[in-house]
């Protein structure tokens, strides 16, 4: 598995069942069952093609009795699962998937989320809707830094400052060694947006100055 996928899988705490959403190869369920981190798993996808690839891999590892397949949109079939994994998609899409089946999301004791972009949109959705972020991590794969966000429903909305949506208070508090690199990429993107005139309100904004403070 890639560094990104290992980071995702290693964020899962021991549990009975996991539901991997958008599981185009079933690598994460296969790894988690193999390490005995969960007893049962579902590899799910919205498209037939990825389900076929997942099926082939599950058969290759002889895990048909432990990993089942589900062709569905988002987490519609995840009711009763301890741990829901949604990775390799945009932050807004992950938030939309949780929102559509929020009753199911609220019951999971672990939500393992890995946004490929816009993590600030996902953190905003989680914090505004009673979900608490209990763990985050970063890893580097090739030249890119990836972020995983682990959350669960507590019913308490989190009060946050705008920059915390981008910088992750968890990673700042932990002084994660990849945080500076991660924030530099983000700052460059924000600077490019200012230069491109797309978001003039960003210029001299507290967000940019606060993020610059965090990058030594
Ligand atoms: C880029 S792959 C990510 C695969 C894997 N989760 C990972 O992190 O490497 C995205 C997968 O999510 C699936 N997908 C996209 N939207 C989905 C949705 N609403 N519900 C379930 N699967 C979805 C796609 O069909 C595709 O197989």
> pLDDT at residue 192 above 90?
no
Lowest mean pLDDT among 19-23, 94-98, 139-143, 183-187: 183-187
Residue 129 CA to ligand 1 center (angstroms) comes to: 23
* Average pLDDT score over residue span 167-191: 88
Mode of pairing for the β-strands spanning 144-153 and 67-71? unpaired
pLDDT given at position 214: 85
pLDDT given at position 113: 98
* Average pLDDT score over residue span 154-162: 91
pLDDT given at position 201: 65
8 close to 86: Cβ distance less than 8 angstroms? no
CA atoms within a 13 Å half-sphere pointing along the CA-CB vector of 36? 0
d(CA 214, CA 216): 6
Does the pTM of the predicted model rise above 0.85? Answer: yes
Distance of CA 199 to the CA centre of its chain: 26
pLDDT given at position 204: 62
Q: All domains of the chain, ordered by start, with CATH?
A: 3-159 (3.40.50.150), 161-216 (no CATH)
Cα angle for residues 79, 129, 76 (degrees, 5° grid): 20
d(CA 177, CA 189): 20
pLDDT given at position 203: 62
Lowest mean pLDDT among 10-19, 31-40, 123-132, 188-197: 188-197
pLDDT given at position 194: 77
Structure-token pair, residue 69: 């397949």
87 close to 28: Cβ distance less than 8 angstroms? yes
Q: Which helix (H) or strand (E) holds 157?
A: none
CB atoms near residue 213 (< 10 Å) = 10
pLDDT given at position 141: 93
CA nearest 111: which of 101, 40, 4? 101
Residue 94 CA to ligand 1 center (angstroms) comes to: 10
Percent composition of the chain: helix, strand, coil (DSSP 3-state, to 5): 45, 25, 30
- Ligand 1, pocket-test mutation among 26, 46, 114, most atoms within 8 A of CB: 46
Residues lining ligand 1, judged by CB closer than 6 Å?
21-24, 45-47, 50, 73-74, 87-89, 97
Residue 208 CA to ligand 1 center (angstroms) comes to: 32
Residue 73 CA to ligand 1 center (angstroms) comes to: 10
Lowest mean pLDDT among 67-81, 83-97, 144-158, 201-215: 201-215
> Residue 120 — very low, low, confident or very high, per pLDDT cuts 50/70/90?
very high
Could you tell me the CA-to-CA distances from 135 to 173, 174, 210 in Å, in that order? 11, 10, 22
pLDDT given at position 169: 85
- Ligand 1, pocket-test mutation among 9, 19, 24, 101, most atoms within 8 A of CB: 24
């Amino acid at each position: 598995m890639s560094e990104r996928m290992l980071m995702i899988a290693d964020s899962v705490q021991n549990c009975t069942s996991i539901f991997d959403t958008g599981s185009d190869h079933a690598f994460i369920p296969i790894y988690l069952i193999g390490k005995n981190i969960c007893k049962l798993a579902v590899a799910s996808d919205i498209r037939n093609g990825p389900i076929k690839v997942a099926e082939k891999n599950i058969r290759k590892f002889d895990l048909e009795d432990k990993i089942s397949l589900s062709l569905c949109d988002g987490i519609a079939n995840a009711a009763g699962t301890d741990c829901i994994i949604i990775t390799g998609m945009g932050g807004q899409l992950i938030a939309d998937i949780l929102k559509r089946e929020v009753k199911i999301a609220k019951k999971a004791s672990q939500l393992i989320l890995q946004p490929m972009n816009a993590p600030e949109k996902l953190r905003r959705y989680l914090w505004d809707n009673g979900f608490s972020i209990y763990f985050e991590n970063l890893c580097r794969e090739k030249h890119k830094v990836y972020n995983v966000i682990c959350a669960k429903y507590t019913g308490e909305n989190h009060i946050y400052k705008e920059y915390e949506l981008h910088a992750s208070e968890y990673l700042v508090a932990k002084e994660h060694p990849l945080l500076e690199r991660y924030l530099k990429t983000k700052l460059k993107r924000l600077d490019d947006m200012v230069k491109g005139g797309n978001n003039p309100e960003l210029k001299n904004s507290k967000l940019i100055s606060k993020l610059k403070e965090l990058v030594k």
